[in-house]
């Protein structure tokens, strides 16, 4: 199979690009990641594969987080070892997942997690399905220098076509390799709860489809609505790393998805420590969904709700209080 330029970045809005720094961005704070760091060791030991436009390899908040990478595109004359970001989108996604905690710049959801960077989209933000499929299989089978394997994949990209080979690659990673795949739900929403918008790979049942809300817990008007949305995360005016040593504020479900990928990296460390064994993809999904808060929208708009990592702890504390006082 060979398809040219049929998959791309979902449309996203760049609000500003600057050298401005804000160590804990609002989105990271909103999902309660810093409160979860102690019990999850900040995601240490996890590896998140990012299938995107690459990464700004010398960015001070990202350079030490990269465990490996590969270029699947024709950029840089097809040099497989050059996965430098020439768009900005991939670097922004990477920062939200795992920008290092260094008392400067910005910090990601899981700042001790390592990143496997798979450049599958060109600087123009487009690619072909072969690149995506090959990268999914590569990530599923990847072994790091010390035997590390991929814990989570993030794909903030999509297209309108249901491609059989893409679906098969996803099923291989999820069902056979037990790797959760987190996808941006898509930005074709028309702000009408009665109409559905579908995007692939987000609409495959095997992946975790993430819609976007703003910091006031309102669904973003651009966020796709359909029966496959699993949950929502911050995706409006999100500050993260960008090209060079810059930072940027972007909006889109592309910005919501990495919040969940980072959260899964934390949940995996916490869960496997608690259970004393490796967790399956379905078990990790269950642990993730336990940490969502319902919102006053349809399930098709927000799925199980907003990811908030300390929600279960707060619920247990409330139960204990009620039992002790009433």
* Annotated catalytic residue within 40, 46, 89, 199: 89
* Annotated catalytic residue within 52, 75, 214, 230: 52
| Residue 141 falls in the annotated catalytic set | no
* Annotated catalytic residue within 40, 151, 251, 254: 254
DSSP tag of 280:
P
| Residue 156 falls in the annotated catalytic set | no
Closest among 125, 108, 106, 90 to 44, alpha carbons compared: 108
| Residue 40 falls in the annotated catalytic set | no
Total residues found in the chain within this entry: 326
**3-state DSSP: the chain helix, strand, coil percent, rounded to 5?**
35, 20, 45
- Yes or no: say if 57 and 84 are a contact pair by the CB < 8 Å rule: yes
Three-class secondary structure of residue 112 per DSSP: coil
The C-alpha angle with vertex 263 and arms to 278 and 227, in degrees rounded to 5, equals: 95
- For 232, counting Cβ atoms within 10 Å of its Cβ (0-12 exposed, 13-18 middle, 19+ buried), the class is buried
Which residue is listed with tokens 């817990």?
A: 217
Closest among 152, 125, 158 to 224, alpha carbons compared: 158
Q: What stretches of 31-186 show up as alpha helix (H) in DSSP? A: 33-40, 89-98, 129-141, 164-171
Cis peptide before 201 (omega within 30 of 0): yes
Give the whole-angstrom CA distance, residue 257 versus residue 263.
10
- Yes or no: say if 127 and 7 are a contact pair by the CB < 8 Å rule: yes
Tally Cβ neighbours within 10 Å of residue 296. Answer: 10
Active site residues: 52, 89, 254
């Amino acid at each position: 199979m060979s398809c040219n330029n049929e998959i791309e970045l979902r449309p996203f809005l760049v609000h500003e690009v600057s050298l401005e720094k804000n160590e804990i961005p609002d989105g990271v704070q909103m999902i309660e990641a810093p409160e979860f760091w102690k019990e999850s060791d900040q995601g240490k030991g996890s590896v998140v594969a990012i299938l995107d436009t690459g990464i700004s390899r010398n960015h001070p908040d990202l350079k030490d987080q990269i465990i490996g990478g590969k270029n699947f595109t024709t950029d840089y004359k097809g040099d497989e070892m050059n996965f430098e970001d020439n768009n900005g989108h991939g670097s922004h996604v990477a920062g939200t997942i795992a920008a290092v905690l260094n008392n400067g710049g910005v910090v990601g959801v899981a700042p001790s997690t390592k990143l496997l960077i798979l450049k599958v989209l060109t600087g123009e933000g487009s690619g072909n399905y072969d690149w995506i499929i090959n990268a999914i299989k590569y990530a599923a089978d990847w072994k790091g220098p010390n035997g590390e394997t991929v814990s989570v994949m993030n794909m903030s990209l999509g297209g309108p076509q249901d491609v059989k080979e893409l679906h098969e690659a996803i099923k291989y990673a999820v069902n056979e390799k037990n790797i959760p795949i987190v996808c941006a739900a898509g930005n074709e929403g028309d702000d009408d709860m009665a109409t559905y918008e579908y995007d692939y790979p987000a609409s495959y049942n095997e992946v975790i489809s993430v819609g976007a809300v703003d910091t006031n817990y309102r669904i973003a008007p651009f966020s796709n609505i359909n029966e496959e949305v699993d949950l929502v995360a911050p995706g409006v005016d999100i500050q993260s790393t960008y090209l060079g040593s810059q930072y940027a504020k972007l909006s889109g479900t592309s910005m919501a998805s990495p919040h969940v990928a980072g959260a899964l990296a934390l949940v995996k460390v916490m869960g496997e420590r608690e259970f004393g064994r490796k967790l399956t993809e379905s078990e990790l999904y269950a642990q993730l969904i336990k940490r969502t808060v319902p919102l006053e929208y349809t399930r098709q708009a927000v799925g199980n709700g907003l990811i908030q990592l300390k929600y279960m702890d707060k619920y247990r504390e409330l139960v204990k209080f009620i039992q002790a006082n009433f």
